[in-house]
Structure 1
Amino acid sequence: MAVQRITGALRSYPWVLATLGALIVVILLELSGQQQLAQLIASVFALGTAAWTSVGMVRDLMRGHWGIDILAVTAIVSTVVVGEYLAALVVCLMLTGGEALEDYAARRAKKDLSALLERAPRVAHLLQANGSVQDVPLEQVQPGDRLLVRPAEVVPVDGTLAAGADGLDVAADFDESSLTGESLPVTRSSGDAVLSGSLNGQQAVTVIATATAEHSQYARILALVKDAAESQAPMVRLADRYAVPFTLVAYLIGGLAWWFSGDPVRFAEVLVVATPCPLLIAAPVAFMGGMSRAAKNGVIVKSGGIIETLGSVQTAAFDKTGTLTYGRPELLAVRPDPAAGLGEDELLRLAASAEQYSVHVLADSIRTGAEARGLVLATSDDAREEATNGVIATLEGRTVIVGKHAYVRAHTTELTQAELQPGESAVYVGVDGVFAGTLILSDRLRGNASATLRELDRLGVHRTLMLTGDAQTTARHIAAQAGITQVEAELLPQDKVRLVGEVQPRPVMMVGDGVNDVPVLAVADVGVAMGARGSTAASESADVVILTDDISRAAVAVSVGQRTLAVAKQSIWVGIALSLVLMGVAAFGVIPAIVGALFQEVVDVVAILNALRAMRAGRGELKDFSSLADPELESIREAAGT
């Protein structure tokens, strides 16, 4: 089996196979005394490899990317010229084997990303009316279908856990670790929502589909993961910072060694140990490892370039509703205006009816409040929402406008400003051009928001600010509780974009969750979307998606980014330092070319092994992010029996 894996891997990399074949043939010819033929074969193969590499190098240069393959090409040519043809073949093996070595290390580094893709279900077990089970393609599942999920199977679509055949409640455990980073299984009871992508426990259960596969949570996560897994780390940017000086230093040491010794072999011996694999391989492996570690903690980072930027974040900006707060405002009071002649229930019914056509989080709370009073909502064929401002709808022949103070005031007469307590928000209502009353709501700060801000400060992100469309008094109250000093309130989306573009120091991380955050997430240096309950549009425009309803993962993302960037740079410097030491020794003729080539292979392995450390927490870094957990969410889990 091991032999089959090795041969299969070699077939995937024909240049590696060809180089090994050439090396074996040349060694056999050497042993049989045919040195001239061995030298001819080795020289032709090595020069051919150098020419092939040069073509790719020229293409990179034409795209504006400075590469350092020129060192390897020069090493190959110089060793052939001075007759060190075995060393030339070893350098060729290093050059062609670098891709295979990088692929192996990258596969190991992104195993947590790959695990999500590999476990994606392809079929669903559809329960028929007669009790039989039919396997159908996942795309055919529709809301309302009853699906059998067997033990240790992945839940294929979003759904709710069905009761048992006898109508009794069912309790089942599900492993959501690949989705949320939560290590312990969660217990769901009949009627509870079950996430697609969660792993069923030890008993077969029935799940009633609530969404198609395309619109399920897992499909959206898989799309994000696929983009992240296929993205390339910014090696052109990071490695090229060192490429030109490293190349010049190598040529300088080699040239000086040749000059003082008078022996051109010294030049070849120096360049053999200066081959640049650590610069080409170590950093992308580190970035992929960091992306994998982030995914394991419920954070999808879409590219290696974003991991690099996360590691350098200096400023963090936050939306308020649904980000710093729970995003579940409670309806506290209904205050009709006496002049409008509407009672509390009628005012609330009209407002909730109009809010059916809004996607704002406050709209959900108003509708929930109306449903709690048993009010029957009206429908409209003429409703439109103006994002972040409000909604206008024609209901039962009346024009109803619901939204912010300034928005409703522009469409009504004699609007009265509501008197609010700290932490309260007001939604204003107008009917047929007349101010009709106010709805008072309140949202609470997340239990771990302050701890998240303190952790960001510890990580060096000292400047934080709140950008919100909410009222100034409410925004300042929430910001004071969280520990944010700079507050920008009553903003439109374009105002947020402008402020994020102007704020210093950079890079800037913006954390948000709603449709109104899409523009600012797109323009921030790093846009972070709270994707558990946030909009699909926000997740698609963001660079980082948090899979759980947990703001602390923003600090987790920065922490992982800093660790990854540090390991990537360290791996490059380890490779450079070892190469410089070997170049210095080789300049005195102590290291023969063939030995130097083998030493360089060791340097490559050391640099890659060091890069894989990005998959683990570093010294001084939080190893267990549970210390940032939201106590309210934890108590909910405990109450559910997790």
Structure 2
Amino acid sequence: MAWIMTNARRYPLLTTTVLVGLLGIVLWAFGLGSEPVNLVRWLFSGFALFVAVLQAIQMVRDIMRGHWGLDILAVTAIVATVLVDEYVASIVIVLMLTGGEALEDYAAGRAKRELNALLEKSPQSAHRVLPGGGIEEVPVAEVKVGDTLLLRPAEIVPVDGELLDVGGVFDESSLTGESVPVERAVGDAVLSGAVNGQAAVQITATATAENSQYQRIVALVAAAGESKAPVVRLADRYAVPFTLFSLALAGVAWAVSGDPVRFAEVLVVATPCPLLIAAPVAFMGGMSRAARNGVIVKGGGVLETLSRARTVVFDKTGTLTHGTPSLTAVRPAPGFDADEVLALAASAEQYSSHVLAASIMRAAEERGLTLRPAKTAREVATHGVVADIDGRVVTIGKLAFVRDAAPDARATELVGGELSIAVAVDGRFAGSIVASDSVRGNAAATIAALRELGVRESMILTGDARATASHVAEELGITRVQAECLPQDKVITVRAVTERPVIMVGDGVNDAPVLAAADVGIAMGAKGATAASESADVVIMVDDISRAARAVQIGHDTVRIALQSIWIGIAFSVVLMLIAAFGVIPATVGAVLQEVVDLVTILNALRAIGRRRDAHWNVPSAP
């Protein structure tokens, strides 16, 4: 009963329509549905005209805003059935229109099930271990970095953390789309939103709730669910032609037969619910399917653009490669020692956010070298670092940047896939540090899959040296390369691409501007590049580049199903209109048949949700 009352208040016009219909049945049962006093006719006709006026007011407002929709058919059908005394058909049409909102909400809710599941599973509390050994339950927002938290069996991880116990098993399907639980060892990262296995474990919080992986995903999902993407335009393209055709056919049927009832009978089966509901439901289903596959799409319009993409642009480091380069050589210049160069470089790189900095510091520590603090340090974004280490000015970064401080700086010889960083000390070239960053195992298959999906052109945009980028491009079959780019160079290049729409795939903070500039920006968000994720239209929640191709595939499937649903609705309606034009389908029967058409098109649109697992997908996931 509570459910009925809640929905009655939620859909007042539908509730009123049902009550009017029930009252009409009661009046008819008491003999008040026939002449000379046909109260049922006056009740149904009056209420139908009232609803038609409400629809007409909204229709006029839409037309004044330049939006020609399908309400004209609905209003005309109601008025026509009233005028030809088909008042039962009138109330059925009104029921169909007022029930359309409820039907759309139900279908949209079904299509959004994966998105809603993410929102509903958002952790609300955590069990904090107290210094004395006790446990207190606190709101997740109160968890601080460094807190020790207890995870009970089957409990959702509240914030990002590190595992303190010897081992644990976690279900990360809500984050990655992979149904197989993963094992974690002591010291391994555990992401918020994962579900603990059957054993209680403890973790140390490494991020607050606001900065944890799952909460960022929830924020993205909420934004996606609230987006008012122009997906209905897909149906609106057919609105005016369909309306004109329907009115013309109804007019011809009236003129040929001489019976105005034919006009109403044709319009009854031309009511527009399939076009109004099918496309939004299909796109919401596509977004839900993407979420199930570890991809957050910020609006249905993004899926439509993905389906038409013709060019894909990749950042290199961390996108096509793993982004964790390992040191392969230190090549000191004459007068310098390898350990000296590495120690000074690692000390300066303490103040850098570059992906290579961690590798250099790790290599120095493995050699037992001591990292010394800097008196002053300054990072020049995308170029390098200048630091005062023990009274010596150390400049480290790109060759062109270091050459400004040390004109004798020179390039070092690299083999396939290697990259180098130059070092200068007190204005003298001190040497080069060489590292290698391996290409992702499924990168080539991803690019091949994109090519099969119609994304014919591919490009690498990177700040790395041309030799390194060209080697990666050749290995992966990428057609164009632009190396040694600054963030603004990337934006200019993407805007200049002629084969559009263009997709940009990146992972770092410095990719945020170009992700925003592309027609569709795809951020590899698993590593927590918040700025990139906020600028992007699509966020991949796992460290797996193949999900970029999967997002394009979902875009193709979603648009295909949306168009298919629209054409099914149009085809059935046209067939019914042609039959009704010969007077075969009474108006009341036609209204009921149109409800069947609505259900068929909506059920077809729900196919965009996809299967529980995309078993047909043939690009291997990241190992």
Whether these two folds match at TM > 0.5 is yes
Correspondence 1:426-441 to 2 at 5 A: 426-441=420-435
The Cα offsets for residues 315-357 of structure 1, whole Å up to 9 and x where unpaired, read as: 111111111111111111112222xx43222322222222222
Task: Please show how residues 205-354 of structure 1 align to structure 2 within 5 Å.
Answer: 205-338=201-334, 341-354=335-348
Q: Which segment is superposed worse, 563-572 or 457-466?
A: 457-466
Q: In 1, distance between residues paired with 2:421 and 2:541?
A: 30
- The 2-side partners of 1:406 and 1:534 are apart by 30
Which of the numbers 12, 16, 20 marks the counterpart of 1:14? 12
Structure 2: how far apart are the matches of 1:378 and 1:64? 67
Who is 1:32 aligned against? 30
Q: Is the 8 A contact 1:233 1:288 kept in 2?
A: no
Cα distance in 2, alignment partners of residues 346 and 434 from structure 1 = 14
Once the two structures are TM-superposed, the CA of residue 394 in structure 1 deviates from its matched residue by: 3.3
Distance in 1 separating the partners of 2:379 and 2:254: 76
Q: What pairs with 1:44-83 in structure 2 (closer than 5 Å)?
A: 44-83=46-85
User: Secondary structure, in 3 states, of the residue corresponding to 2:202?
Assistant: strand
The DSSP-based 3-state class of the residue aligned with 1:417 is: coil
Structure 1 match to 2:191: 195
- Partner amino acid, structure 2, of 1:327: G
**Mapped partners of 1:383, 1:603: distance in 2:** 69
Report whether the alignment pairs 1:552 with 2:546. Answer: yes
Determine helix, strand or coil for the equivalent of 1:532: helix
Partner SS state of residue 271, structure 2: coil
Q: What is the match of residue 127 of structure 1?
A: 129
Q: Note closer, same or farther for the CA distance 1:625–1:365 as it changes in structure 2 (3 Å cut).
A: farther
Deviation at 1:540, TM superposition (A): 0.7
The worse-fitting range, judged by mean Cα deviation, of 378-387 and 604-613 is 378-387
- In the alignment of these two chains, the number of paired residues is 619
The CA deviation string for residues 420-474 of structure 1, in whole angstroms up to 9 with x for no partner, is 1121111112233332221111111111111111111222222212111211111
Q: 360, 363, 370: which is aligned to 2:354?
A: 360
Classify 1:403/1:139 alpha carbon distance in 2 versus 1 (closer, same or farther; 3 Å). Answer: same
Q: Are the equivalent residues in 2 in contact too, given 1:160–1:193 (CA < 8 A)?
A: yes
Q: Using the alignment, how far apart are the partners of 2:57 and 2:379 within structure 1?
A: 56
| Gaps in structure 1 of 5+ consecutive residues | 164-168, 634-642
C-alpha distance in 2, partners of 1:57/1:158?
A: 50
Match of residue 620 from structure 2: 628
Contact 1:233 1:287 in 2 (8 A): no
Sort the Cα spacing of 1:332 and 1:223 in 2 relative to 1 into closer, same or farther, 3 A.
Answer: same
Equivalent-residue separation in structure 1 for 2:505 and 2:45 (angstroms): 57
Distance in 2 (CA, whole Å) between partners of 1:410 and 1:61 is 63
> Which of 108, 113, 116 is the aligned partner of 2:115?
113
The code of the aligned residue for 1:367 comes to M
Which residue number corresponds to residue 404 of structure 2? Answer: 410
CA gap 1:447/1:262 in 2 versus in 1, 3 angstroms: same
The residue that corresponds to 2:100 in the other structure is 98
What is the CA-CA distance between 1:297 and the residue it aligns to?
Answer: 0.8
Q: Residues 262, 383 of structure 1: CA spacing in aligned structure 2 closer, same or farther, 3 A cutoff?
A: farther
Identity rate, percent: 61
In structure 2, relative to structure 1, the CA distance for the partners of 1:84 and 1:409 (3 Å cut) is same
Contact 2:270 2:574 (8 Å CA) reproduced: yes
- Matched with 1:150 is 152
CA gap 1:224/1:584 in 2 versus in 1, 3 angstroms:
same
CA distance in 2, matches of 1:4, 1:573: 39
Assess, with a 3 A threshold, how the Cα gap between structure 1 residues 381 and 542 changes in structure 2: closer, same or farther: farther
Q: CA deviation at 1:6?
A: 4.4
Q: Distance in 1 between matches of 2:389 and 2:510?
A: 26
Deviation track 1:374-412 (CA, whole Å, cap 9, x = no partner) reads 333233464333332222233333332221111222232
Greater Cα shift, 207-216 or 543-552:
207-216
User: In structure 1, what is the Cα distance between the partners aligned to 2:462 and 2:486?
Assistant: 8
Q: Deviations over 1:143-164 (max 9, x none)?
A: 111111111110001111123x
Whether the 8 Å CA contact 2:232–2:279 is kept in 1: the answer is no
**Could you tell me which amino acid in structure 1 is paired with residue 217 of structure 2?**
I
Matches within 5 A, 1:599-638: 599-616=593-610, 623-625=615-617, 627-630=619-622, 633=623
In the aligned structure 2, how far is the partner of 1:367 from the partner of 1:76? 76
The CA distance in 2 between the partners of 1:85 and 1:289, in whole Å, is 37
Q: Which runs of 4+ in 1 moved over 4 A?
A: none
Partner-residue secondary structure (3-state), 2:207:
coil
CA, structure 1 residues 319+238, in 2 after alignment: closer, same or farther (shift >3 Å)?
same
Relative distance call for 1:580 and 1:330 in structure 2 (3 A) is same
- 8 Å CA contact 1:149–1:200 kept in 2: the answer is yes
RMSD between aligned residues: 1.8
- The answer (yes or no) to whether the contact 1:353–1:379 under 8 Å persists in 2 is yes
**Structure 1 residue 489 and structure 2 residue 483: aligned?**
yes
Query: 2:353 & 2:89 partners in 1: Cα distance?
Result: 67
Deviations 1:527-571 (A, max 9, x none): 101111151111110100111111111111011110011000000
The answer as to whether partners of 1:65 and 1:236 remain within 8 angstroms in 2 is no
One-letter amino acid of the structure 2 residue matched with residue 60 of structure 1: D
Please give the secondary structure, in 2, of the residue aligned with 1:436.
strand
Contact 1:234/1:284, CA 8 A, preserved across alignment: no
Query: The residue matched to 1:229 in structure 2 has which SS?
Result: helix
The residue identity in structure 2 corresponding to 1:53 is Q
The alpha carbon displacement at 1:626 in A equals 6.6
User: How far apart, CA to CA, are the structure 1 residues paired with 2:231 and 2:322?
Assistant: 39
Task: Please state whether the residue corresponding to 1:184 is helix, strand or coil.
Answer: coil
Give 3-state SS (helix, strand or coil) of 1:410's partner.
helix
Q: Structure 1 residues 574-583 or 307-316, which shifts more?
A: 307-316
Any idea what the Cα deviations from partners look like across 1:495-532, whole Å, max 9, x if unmatched?
A: 22222222232111111111221111111111101111
Q: Match of 1:383, as an amino acid?
A: A
Distance 1:77 1:393, change over 3 A: farther
Tell me the amino acid that sits aligned with residue 615 of structure 2: K
* Paired residue type of 2:147: D
Distance 1:283 1:457, change over 3 A: same
Cα distance between partner residues in 2 of 1:143 and 1:471? 38
CA deviation after TM superposition for structure 1 residue 486, in Å: 1.6
1:5 deviates by 3.6
- Does the aligned pair in 1 maintain the 2:232–2:280 contact within 8 Å? no
Residues 235 and 280, structure 1, Cα contact 8 Å, conserved in 2:
no
Pick aligned residue for 1:374 from 368, 371, 377: 368
Whole-Å Cα distance in 1 between the matches of residues 338 and 330 of structure 2?
Answer: 6
2:579 corresponds to:
585
Task: Tell me what 1:452 maps to.
Answer: 446
Partner of 1:639: none
Offset of 1:622 from its aligned partner?
6.2
What amino acid sits opposite 1:477 in the alignment? H
TM-score, normalised via structure 2 length: 0.96
SS in 2 for 1:317: strand
Residue 402 of structure 1 aligns to a residue in which SS?
strand
* Shift in Å, 1:11: 3.1
How far 1:4 sits from its partner (Å)?
Answer: 4.8
Deviation sequence 1:78-128 (CA, Å, 0-9, x none): 111221122111111111111111111111111111111101111111111
| Mapped contact 1:232–1:284 kept (Cα < 8 A) | no
Partners of 1:278 and 1:463 in 2: CA distance? 36
8 Å contact from structure 1 (residues 563, 617) kept in 2: no
1:204 Cα deviation (Å)? Answer: 1.4
Deviates more, 1:276-285 or 1:479-488: 479-488
- Does structure 2 conserve the Cα–Cα contact (< 8 Å) formed by 1:109 and 1:292? yes
